Amino acid sequence: MLVVDDESPIRMLCRVNLTAAGIEVLEADNGRDALELIRRELPDLVLLDVMMPDLDGWEVARRLAADPKTREIPIVFLTARAGEADRRLGEQLGGVGYVVKPFDPVRIGDLVEEVLTRIEQGEREALRRGILDDMLGSP
Amino acid sequence: MSRSSAETGLSLEALADAADRANRLQRVTDRLAEALTPQQVLDAILTEGLRAAEARAGAIGIVSEDGEWIELLAQRGYKRPILTEWGRFPVSAELPMSHVVRNGEPLFLESLKARNELFPNLEGRGRDGHALAVLPLALEGRILGVIGLSFGDDMVFSEERRKMKITLARQAALALERARLFEAEQAARQRLAFLAEASELLGSSLDYEQTLSRLAHLSVRRLADWCSIDMVAADGSIDRLAVAHEDPDKVKWALELQERYPPDPDAPHGVSLVIRTGKPEFLPELPEEMLEEAIGDDDVLREIVEQLGVRSSICVPLNARGRTLGALTLIAAESHPPYTSADLELAIELARRAGTAVDNSRLFQEAEKGANAARALAYVADGVVLIDGSGVVRHWNPAAATITGVPEEEALGRRVHSVLPAWESLVSHVPLVGPDEALARPVTVPIVLQGRELWVSASGVDFGEGTVYALRDVTDEHALEKTRSDFVATASHELRTPLAAVYGAVRTLRREDIELREEDRLAFLEIIEDESVRLTQLVDQILLAGQLDANAVQIDLEPCDPVQIASGVLESASLHLPDGISLRVESNGVGAILCDANKLRQVLVNLVDNAVKYSPKGGEVEIRVDSEDGECQIEVADQGLGIPSSERERIFDKFYRLDPQQSGGVGGSGLGLYICRELVERMNGHLDVDSEPGKGSRFTVALPASG
């Protein structure tokens, strides 16, 4: 899977904890690199930061949805934007999860596993409508 | 005075007598022609007439206006004071004069005996009298008065003598009528002059209380001994506006009286009656008996009546446009003769003019009040709009014109929906309250007016005949409020990222289910340290930016040495300098500048920090201090990444950060340069940037020199 965040500490947290869960992790520190990587590697899931300079997370999600090759790739937003409007936007853009920073990285592996399992079980729409969040509860 | 005891035949003597009488009559006619006033006429009749008629004494009585009385006004030749003895007596009385006035025929009584036969009631009176001739002063069937002539002896009134006396009476009547007409004309002239003067007075000022009070005083000199003016108050009570009399003590007494006996609006007479009915009350003469009856045993009332000395009174309403506004009272007392119908007419005319003046003055005051309100509204910053019941604009003040962009003249008198199509969408959100209810909180509504998006705060009051709206353009406030809430939202986002790093690092470090590599463990510890520092700076900067926004940062300007400050900043920066970066200060001997040393230090620390951060490949960071034209320039130049020209102004915006592609991944709060520029500007300087991408940036702080 791919972790996209312009903050290297956040990427590192995700990488270490996801790797510990046996998940192979790719990283991108900006939107353009992320798009390129996704199109090339077609990861199983993208953990996507929203606020990034130039190409932000929303735009990345839009472009992924517009491309038939990438539109099926599940997106979990990982963001500091905690507002209700942002959450709804994430849902509209096809996100299946919405994680608000700060989050507990220890459980991020479980989250990814759960999302992937449920999608496999055909619950993608249910996930999207009830956009998965708060399972990584803030401190 | 010659006397003749026999008038027989046409003897020479008789002819001479006749010529003599004709001469006398001619003299009377001449004198009467000269007499102007009625009194002069009466005097002329008696002085010359008695002689012409060979009478010993004579008296003249005048019939009163109502035809009921005869008043003795002149006498000559009587030993007794008959004017006071007889004074006035009824036309109906059994007296020779009354008899003549009643019948209109002369009465010739040749002796006292003849008189007593006709008027037995006079038996024993006027014992020394002899013959008596009583003649009507008649003109065209009207009896003006009566003249009585008394002779020294009994007398036979020959046809000749009778004719002569009738001619005398006729001459006298003519002269009396002429004099009366003259007097009436004089009086009319005076009335007209008075009315003109009163009208001028009434028109002189719009302060009707003052003009009415002056009118009362004017009337006292010409029309009355007492004059008072009463007005109907708003609550229906009667207020005495003015009392006038020539004697100020009497005025004082009358005012005290008013205090003690306030008028009863339901009283069956006087001012109360006139105000209630709107009709004049005219008491031409108050007979003694009538007063006595009215007073009865009321001693207080007796005192009042005696003090007033009322003889006759007129009370007329001040009417205008079908309403009675008050009443004017004229009283004839000690000096003014009793009122006649001519006086009543004058009083009615005077009151009519006064009523109109009061009405005009009140209308003007109403209009003035309206004009004042409009004038006040012209200066109110809030837009005030009055819409009548049918949706037509009745008031549109200048602020409303400014807010809506529709000038007053285009709005007034037109339907508000055609004046402003957006009106409905604006006021549909505004809750209306009644005039006595507490004002609802204004509602802030966005509307598009002539292509501009405005935020308008509006409130409204429905007063039945229409609705008044208060509008305020809060577009700027709304933008400011949005900036403020955006700032809070952005600041909270900015805090979440380092918090996420710290919290995540700690959570990961504490994992017991996995074995962390040593280098990762150290990296997490470093993250915790770095992000904590970043959080602290962020919190400080957010606080400072907030204070700058609220204008709550205190700046203490004093002379400082810029070179010393710059050197100090470089010195501390050099303590933790990355490899490949060198620092230096250049200066060409600059004098003191006026600034807040701590704030300048803060600015330079930030600029040097940025210069180092954005020089990932190393290079020289130089601070150059120069002075030029009373201004000191402190440049912080690096040889780093530089800034694209499109970004050069935006880097000073709050929370704006360069794309990591352009900034080489260097992070920050996004507040540093914003704070730097704000601080420099508050020290009366300016902060600018010049840059060439790939070659470096040059930030210039310019500050005024000291003194």
Q: Residue by residue, what is the 3-state secondary structure of B116-134?
A: HHHCHHHCCCCCCCCCEEE
| Confidence at residue A39, expressed as pLDDT on a 0 to 100 scale | 94
Q: Which domain holds residue B423?
A: 380-473
Do B332 and B438 reside in the same domain of the chain?
no
Domain count, chain B: 5
Do B397 and B249 reside in the same domain of the chain?
no
**Across the interface, do A83 and B489 touch by the CB < 8 Å criterion?**
yes
- Mean pLDDT value across chain A: 87
Residue B190, in any domain of the structure: no
Do B571 and B529 reside in the same domain of the chain?
no
Torsion of CA B228, B234, B236, B237, to 10 degrees: -50
Do B482 and B450 reside in the same domain of the chain?
no
A residues 68-107 closer than 8 Å to B (CB): 80-83, 100-106
Is A137 an interface residue toward B (CB < 8 Å)?
no
Stretch B608-616: mean pLDDT: 86
State the nearest Cα–Cα gap between A88 and chain B, in angstroms. Answer: 17
Size of interface A-B (CB pairs under 8 A): 84
* Interval A112-129: pLDDT, tens: 998 899 888 887 777 776
**Across the interface, do B493 and A6 touch by the CB < 8 Å criterion?**
no
- Mean pLDDT value across chain B: 85
- Do the bridges between strand A26-28 and strand B383-388 make them parallel or antiparallel, or are there none, so unpaired? unpaired
Residue B360, in any domain of the structure: yes
Q: Which of A97-111, B111-125, B338-352 has the lowest mean pLDDT?
A: B111-125
Q: CA-CA distances (angstroms) from residue B74 to B94, B111, B286?
A: 21, 23, 24
Is B644 an interface residue toward A (CB < 8 Å)?
no
| Confidence at residue B287, expressed as pLDDT on a 0 to 100 scale | 66
Alpha helices in B82-158 (DSSP H): 82-86, 96-103, 112-118
* Interval B531-575: pLDDT, tens: 998 888 888 888 888 888 878 889 999 999 999 999 999 988 888
Residue B52, in any domain of the structure: yes
Q: What is the CATH number of the domain that holds B414?
A: 3.30.450.20
Residue B198, in any domain of the structure: no
For residue B503, give the nearest of A7, A29, A139 by CB distance.
Answer: A139
User: What percentage of chain B exceeds 70 in pLDDT?
Assistant: 95
Is A126 an interface residue toward B (CB < 8 Å)?
no
CB of A51 within 8 A of CB of B493? yes
Per CB-CB distance under 8 Å, the chain A contacts of B516 are: 16
Distance, first Cα to last Cα, chain B = 124
Question: Domains (ranges, CATH) in chain A?
Answer: 2-133 (3.40.50.2300)
CB of B313 within 8 A of CB of B290? no
Per CB-CB distance under 8 Å, the chain A contacts of B506 are: none
The kind and range of the H/E element at B575 are: none
Stretch A4-29: mean pLDDT: 93
On the question of pLDDT at B87 being above 60, the answer is yes
| Confidence at residue B4, expressed as pLDDT on a 0 to 100 scale | 47
Do B16 and B136 reside in the same domain of the chain?
yes
Q: Which amino acid is at B201?
A: L
Per CB-CB distance under 8 Å, the chain B contacts of A4 are: none
CB of B328 within 8 A of CB of B354? yes
Do B27 and B86 reside in the same domain of the chain?
yes
Stretch B30-38: mean pLDDT: 78
| Confidence at residue B2, expressed as pLDDT on a 0 to 100 scale | 45
State the nearest Cα–Cα gap between A122 and chain B, in angstroms. Answer: 31
> Which of B622 and B81 is assigned the larger pLDDT?
B622
Is B520 an interface residue toward A (CB < 8 Å)?
yes
| Confidence at residue B318, expressed as pLDDT on a 0 to 100 scale | 92
Stretch B693-703: mean pLDDT: 91
Is A50 an interface residue toward B (CB < 8 Å)?
no
Q: How confident is the model at residue B90 (pLDDT cuts 50, 70, 90)?
A: very high
**Across the interface, do A106 and B501 touch by the CB < 8 Å criterion?**
no
| Confidence at residue A18, expressed as pLDDT on a 0 to 100 scale | 94
Nearest CA among B499, B529, B510, B505 for reference residue A102: B499
Prediction ipTM score: 0.93
Find, in chain B, the residue whose alpha carbon is nearest to that of A20.
Answer: B514
Do B447 and B346 reside in the same domain of the chain?
no
| Confidence at residue B668, expressed as pLDDT on a 0 to 100 scale | 64
Q: What is the CATH number of the domain that holds B40?
A: 3.30.450.40
State the nearest Cα–Cα gap between B614 and chain A, in angstroms. Answer: 16
Optimal mutation site among A3, A12, A47, interface B, most CBs of chain B within 10 A:
A12
Distance (Å, whole) CA B240 – CA B228: 7
Residue B48, in any domain of the structure: yes
Q: How confident is the model at residue A23 (pLDDT cuts 50, 70, 90)?
A: very high
When mean pLDDT is compared over A59-68, B37-46, B455-464, the highest value belongs to A59-68
Q: What is the CATH number of the domain that holds B524?
A: 1.10.287.130
Do B541 and B434 reside in the same domain of the chain?
no
